Amino acid sequence: MSPTFSRRSALRLVGGAIAVAAAATSAGPAPLAHAESGSGAGPRVEGLIGRLTLDEKISLLHGATDPDSLGQAGYVPGVPRLGIPALRLADGPAGVRVTRHATALPAPVLLASAFDPALARRYGQVIGREGRALGQDVLLSPMVNLIRTPYAGRNFETFSEDPLLAGDLVAAEIRGIQGEGLIATVKHFALNNQEKDRQSVDVVVDEQTLHEVELRGFEAAVEAGTGAVMGAYNKVGGTYACENPMLLTDILRERWGFGGWVMTDWFAAHSTAAAIAAGLDMEMPDGTYFGAALKSAVRSGSVPEAYVDRAVRRVLAVMDRFGLLDGSVPARPARDAKAGAAVALEVAKAGATLLRNEHRALPLTGAAARSIAVVGPTGSLPFVSGGGSAHVVPDRADSPLDAIGSRAGRGAHVSYSLGEDLFGKPVPASALSPALSTEGQGIAAGQTWTYEGTLTVADADEWTLVIHYSGERPKVLLDGEDLFPVAPGYGEYFSGGLVSAAPDGLSVRRRTLDLAKGAHKVEITAKGGTGGQLFRLRRITGATRAQDVAEAVAAARAAHSVVLFAFEDATEGLDRTTIALPGHQERLIEAVSAANPRTTVVLNTSSSTSMPWLRRTAAVLQMYYPGQEGASATAAVLFGDCDPGGRLTQSFAVDDAHHPVAGDPRRYPGLDGTEEYSEGIHAGYRWYDAGGVRPLFPFGHGLSYTSFVYDGLRVRRDHHGLRASFTVRNTGRRAGIEVAQVYVGPSPDLGLDQAVRVLGGYERLALRAGERRRVTVRVASRTLSSWDARKHAWVLGTGRRTLWVGASSGDLRLSTAAEVRA
Ligand code: BGC
């Protein structure tokens, strides 16, 4: 018996009720024969369902402990007696996350900055092949949640604030992953656009916004044949995403015709009967609700066994598509680390986004390339990736300092200064009595070490106390206050990818306090645990900070040019509270660029950053988290071995008060557990355009080392869409990359809210000096359509519409009008 899905969801809304017409669509194109989409399970799957016991069926619907774990996130045991193999599920978006080495690719936001779906496909191919080589069957990636708030901790893991671009890239990446035989899992369905309160926040969104903004990427993933979908932690319209019939059944199954399976995010299940009825198929990583509880529910009749069969059918159907049930799956390949590294390098160069370049400060040539002061902690530490589940153990990673030094070559002088201390310096014997060893305190397994002493502060000052430790977190009391309490629950697992570990691998925690002059009581207890531990106490004070800045300033003065590395260390599980650079980096940039105006700031940040210091600098290069080859890519761009190929996939705000979610806690981060997407369809650059607010840098912005002119715009109708043709000419003296962008204005015929303009299409171009190219960009009818909540359908925006062509959403060079007809 096949259950019916005629239920209407009880979604709360900002304006009108959501109900989605139950029109199933085709499952979309098939990337490869074995990886095609489609909801129909074949006779093999039906035969297996007939032979599986209830216990066996249930074992396929939830995670369990892997007896042979490779450190991956999830495991589902198979049913060997029927030839059903186990599934191993690994993160993640920037490479395969197991405990072994893998290619640490640049963060997805850097990939997206290349505006190049073909590159996204190759990025997916690297992960697909490595996942299979590393014993995995399912990849927990890509993430396609839209960049809605600049504070969101996972903005580096996803693509863009623009739904068209995000959709193109997610589809290409999924085709790349699945073409290698690894099952992709698009995540997190849906509206997991922030980390703050992600486990509980209730998102209230109107139907038009839901479809036009957040869902387009997921729909593109389904069209590309994604095998699995991961439900989000948050609620949508009062119901958890993982038990939300509107999302999981009405939209995903009935409207989009998704034939794969839906798993929860980790520990995101909240019920048994409601969840399976709503369309959830698999609980991860354990069986709290879909294990024994599901069995009792079936036995007691509160869950029809047909629901269990339906979920099993969806899992097995995907396994069958990938050849996992009949042994037709290709043998696992060997890793190709060299090919992975080559793609990692190419992506980092292609996505490198040059935001500012005054007086051709970059590329570094002549004296500027021979006398360089490298400044900043991330100049000497490779900033490979963000934290959380997207963290990958890289094969290798150079520091930018080494890469710059070797590129500058013999005869060049490259100095290094820290500028901003992340890990602290030993507390001097004069301040701590009794003194602590500067090498650290070793504590043998099973032993407990205690310390009681006095910290004497000569003058009232801001102190950052830093602990480095290898095992269980030591307890450090200052005047009786526990400085580093262990937060309960899952949150503790997340800390930044870089700053939470010292260069030698010890865990690091910091606490900044204003300390009064005089004596302070210090008590420390550290346990050796089973493996013993090492403990170090470090400190950063106003005086050490001033010293670090003074050294950087002196080095900047002594050099011809400066490359200053600034960072922001993001992770899932946490949002940042400001878009300003953390710590004292702003002051460092001000001081260094005042000392040497030929200062280039390289940003290794997760997302947008405010730059009150911008005008003092010569150049700003956004590299995000550039992966294991990031140092070479950065050096290649700085020295002009390649053109900076990236463009912003999100608007950069001037400050914390001027961006789409500023100033209204109901909009972000939510009030009383509820968050309203009251900006409606005006996400990202649409919000800036609608309100006439100037961003610091607009969506699509990025400079080349050469210059381009646009002319000859013509627009023709193309079925229900449009075709814009224009010429782009490289007017400079070097080869370069341009990302030509087409934007489209509103339809006069729709009585619906529409954006001032939306991205209609784009083309990444590599042009030699003097080369001109005629470019044609298709604007699809979907992009010309709006979601009509009264009809619960897309409606084509007919009539005369303006088209612009330019180099960013704020740099529109050509425009014309064209008639759109149904
Ligand atoms: C994340 C998912 C990830 C999962 C498994 C969760 O915390 O939200 O994106 O796939 O963990 O590691």
Q: How far is the CA of 646 from the centre of ligand 1 (A)?
A: 28
- The protein residue whose alpha carbon is closest to atom 5 in ligand 1 is 73
Domain annotation covers residue 286: yes
* 246 shares its domain with 97: yes
Q: How far is the CA of 266 from the centre of ligand 1 (A)?
A: 6
pLDDT at 496: 60
* For the CA of 92, the nearest atom of ligand 1: 10
Q: How many domains does the chain have?
A: 4
Structural contact between residues 418 and 552, judged by C-beta atoms closer than 8 angstroms: yes
Domain annotation covers residue 668: yes
Tens digit of each residue's pLDDT (9 = 90 or more) over 155-174 = 999 999 999 999 999 999 99
* 654 shares its domain with 712: no
pLDDT at 18: 33
CATH number of 508's domain: 2.60.120.380
- In angstroms, the CA 308 to CA 35 distance is 24
- The protein residue whose alpha carbon is closest to atom 6 in ligand 1 is 266
- The protein residue whose alpha carbon is closest to atom 3 in ligand 1 is 389
- The last residue of one of the domains, among 306, 337, 368, is 337
Q: How far is the CA of 65 from the centre of ligand 1 (A)?
A: 16
* 258 shares its domain with 407: no
Show the low-confidence residues of the chain (pLDDT under 50). 1-39
Please tell me if the CB atom of residue 784 comes closer than 6 angstroms to any atom of ligand 1.
Answer: no
Residue 653 contacts by C-beta under 8 Å, 6 or more apart in sequence? 150, 579, 608, 610, 659, 662, 695, 696
pLDDT at 820: 96
- The protein residue whose alpha carbon is closest to atom 8 in ligand 1 is 265
* For the CA of 97, the nearest atom of ligand 1: 12
- In angstroms, the CA 260 to CA 54 distance is 21
- In angstroms, the CA 680 to CA 68 distance is 47
Domain annotation covers residue 793: yes
pLDDT at 6: 30
* 64 shares its domain with 115: yes
Nearest to 761 by CA among 147, 122, 156, 167: 167
663 lies in which domain range? 348-416+554-570+593-681
* For the CA of 389, the nearest atom of ligand 1: 12
* For the CA of 140, the nearest atom of ligand 1: 10
Domain annotation covers residue 379: yes
Please tell me if the CB atom of residue 73 comes closer than 6 angstroms to any atom of ligand 1.
Answer: yes
* 756 shares its domain with 813: yes
pLDDT at 495: 62
Note if 479 is an active site residue.
no
Nearest to 764 by CA among 799, 795, 736, 739: 739
What does pTM read for this prediction?
A: 0.94
- The protein residue whose alpha carbon is closest to atom 11 in ligand 1 is 266
Q: How far is the CA of 114 from the centre of ligand 1 (A)?
A: 26
Among the options 265, 398, 548, 643, which is catalytic?
Answer: 265
Q: How far is the CA of 386 from the centre of ligand 1 (A)?
A: 14
Distance of CA 335 to the CA centre of its chain: 24
Tens digit of each residue's pLDDT (9 = 90 or more) over 636-660 = 999 999 999 999 999 999 999 999 9
Structure-token match 């009792």, residue found: 296
DSSP per-residue letters across 171-207: HHHHHHHHHTTPEEEEEEETT---STTTTT-EEE--H
pLDDT at 743: 98
Burial of 774 (0-12, 13-18, 19+ CB in 10 A): exposed
pLDDT at 297: 98
* 600 shares its domain with 472: no
- The protein residue whose alpha carbon is closest to atom 2 in ligand 1 is 265
Q: How far is the CA of 265 from the centre of ligand 1 (A)?
A: 6
Domain annotation covers residue 588: no
* 435 shares its domain with 558: no
Please tell me if the CB atom of residue 266 comes closer than 6 angstroms to any atom of ligand 1.
Answer: yes
pLDDT at 387: 85
Residue 119 contacts by C-beta under 8 Å, 6 or more apart in sequence? 111, 346, 347, 350
* 112 shares its domain with 254: yes
Phi, psi at 743, each rounded to 5°: -115, 150
Domain annotation covers residue 23: no
pLDDT at 543: 92
Domain annotation covers residue 548: no
* 274 shares its domain with 196: yes
Please tell me if the CB atom of residue 140 comes closer than 6 angstroms to any atom of ligand 1.
Answer: yes
* For the CA of 185, the nearest atom of ligand 1: 10
Q: How far is the CA of 154 from the centre of ligand 1 (A)?
A: 11
pLDDT at 22: 30
Among 98, 199, 266, name the best residue to mutate to test ligand 1's pocket (greatest count of ligand atoms within 8 A of Cβ). 266
Q: How far is the CA of 537 from the centre of ligand 1 (A)?
A: 32
Total residue length of the chain: 822
Please tell me if the CB atom of residue 195 comes closer than 6 angstroms to any atom of ligand 1.
Answer: no
- In angstroms, the CA 520 to CA 523 distance is 10
Phi, psi at 202, each rounded to 5°: -105, 115
Please tell me if the CB atom of residue 91 comes closer than 6 angstroms to any atom of ligand 1.
Answer: yes
CATH number of 66's domain: 3.20.20.300
* 289 shares its domain with 155: yes
Q: What is the dihedral of CA 270, 274, 278, 280, to 10 degrees?
A: 40
Domain annotation covers residue 126: yes
Residue 35 contacts by C-beta under 8 Å, 6 or more apart in sequence? 178, 179, 181, 225, 227, 321, 322
Q: How far is the CA of 462 from the centre of ligand 1 (A)?
A: 37
- The protein residue whose alpha carbon is closest to atom 7 in ligand 1 is 266
The 3-class secondary structure across 487-526, one letter per residue, is CCCHHHHCCCCCCCECCCCCEEEEEEEEECCEEEEEEEEE
Please tell me if the CB atom of residue 572 comes closer than 6 angstroms to any atom of ligand 1.
Answer: yes
Among 389, 391, 392, name the best residue to mutate to test ligand 1's pocket (greatest count of ligand atoms within 8 A of Cβ). 389
Alpha helices in 559-650 (DSSP H): 585-595, 630-638
